[in-house]
Amino acid sequence: MKHIDFYKEKNVLVLGLAKSGTATANLLHTLGANVIVNDRTPLEGNEQAKELQSKGMEVICGGHPLSIFDQEIDMVFKNPGIPYTNPLVEMAIQKGIPVLTEVELAYQISEADFIGITGSNGKTTTTTLIDEMLKGGGKSPLIAGNIGKVSVEVAQQATKTNIMVTELSSFQLMGIDSFRPKISVLLNIFEAHLDYHGTLEEYANAKAAIMKNQTKEDFAVVNADDDVIMEMIKHSHATIIPFSVTGKVDGAYLKDGGVYFKEEKVMDVADIVLPGKHNLENILAAIAAAKLVGTENEAIQKVLTTFTGVKHRLQFVDSIENRRFYNDSKATNILATQKAISAFDESVILLAGGLDRGNDFDDLLPYLKNVKVLITFGETAEKLIKTAEEAGIKEIKRVDNVEKAVPVAFEMSHDGDVILLSPACASWDQYKTFEQRGDIFIDAVHKLK
């Protein structure tokens, strides 16, 4: 960890706790900052806030009072999930106070280079693949960000021999200043989180921030098949390394049944065990990043002939009476569910529904041809029922939640069917996280046995 004096005696507001806020507050305190912590959970039931208070930090809990700015505040580190419409954030911006996220702090103290991975879908799978490929190739990656530990915790342990492999959300990237990954990876851009960003353009701008500080000495691994991304890179100074599943590019691509990087064949597509056509994009992006840091083909081959997926992302759960159950709870938007359904040729019983962000589901219609049953739940149930009816799905069932959906799906299934949880919605109407939703699905499947 780099020991920096920049924060010494600075008054720094940490807005929102959870894992990232707590880790950020602790690190800033170690770096000599005067830390003020603000969290909406009252102090009485807020163990994290109590612990920070015991270390001498000023703690204000139970709301977000504007009176915090009665004292001088030099900068704000906010939890990525807190929107920019939060009154404290709005006031900080109005006063010209920098509003940052913990990724910026992680970069400032890290001795290791960063590989930063972002996109609307596939981030976790791609981040995991890169991490596994680098480990198999004798590198020393440290996985961080939205997957695993928060970046500021991992960065404190990083040395020059490590590589920080970091999954990054648009929320995190909006709060960076000097963050500069050695390799950025942009997978795809699709309408997502518009309740937070407002427009697709603003969302894309947030994603594009991953490249804003890169120079020609750095690399941007980009999806050449995504028109939005190809427009974004026109403003990048990084060395562009494209990947494509549709044609040959000067990067990673498919040709004659093989996977190539530049002119070199890495392996045969047929030997890849990760299911789903969409995962080929993730695989090509991971290969490009791994090759750029000198990973040998043998290490890449070993990963791709054994890696079957990450938890909650098209995860095979079990087979019961020749019905295969897949947990794709991380499919929190329509594009993810489109890709999940497209991964199967068999008849699908789809479990979908969740938080209503105001969108409809017309974009799912072309992908519902092999969906024979829809079981829906949550705030978007009525919208999904309407879409299913338009698609001509004959069997539609509304249930209270995921747990009740599983036995109903089993009862309505036949030999050879795929039972797929791929909600196309965030989980927050009924569950704290998509992980909790996925775990409930897994438990319900195991109870069937």
**Is 122 annotated to bind ligand?**
yes
Locate tokens 């009476």: which residue? 321
Give the DSSP letter of residue 52. H
Is 123 labelled as part of a ligand binding site? Answer: yes
**CA dist 185 → 56, 166, 363 (Å):** 40, 10, 26
Asked whether residue 120 is marked as a ligand-binding residue, the answer is: yes
**Which H or E run includes 53?**
helix 47-54
Q: How far apart are CA 449 and CA 441, in angstroms?
A: 13
Hey, how many other C-beta atoms are within 10 angstroms of the C-beta on 141?
Answer: 22
Listed residue (309, 353, 348) closest to 331, CA to CA: 353
Q: Is 394 annotated for ligand binding?
A: no
**Distances in Å between the alpha carbon of 218 and those of 2, 130, 237?**
21, 17, 8
Record the tokens describing residue 67, joined without a space.
């009176």
Can you tell me whether residue 89 is helix, strand or coil? helix
Using a 10 angstrom Cβ sphere, with 0-12 exposed, 13-18 middle and 19 or more buried, the burial of residue 233 is: middle
Answer for the pair 329, 353: CB distance below 8 angstroms, yes or no: no
Residue 125 annotated as lining a ligand binding site:
yes
Q: What is the rounded distance in angstroms from the CA atom of residue 427 to the CA atom of residue 436?
A: 9
Question: And the tokens for 197?
Answer: 């960003």
Helix (H, G, I), strand (E, B) or coil at 102: helix
Q: Check if the beta carbon of residue 384 is closer than 8 Å to that of residue 361.
A: yes
CA angle 221, 204, 388 (to 5 degrees): 105
Q: Residues within the annotated binding site for ATP? A: 119-125
Q: Residues within the annotated binding site? A: 119-125
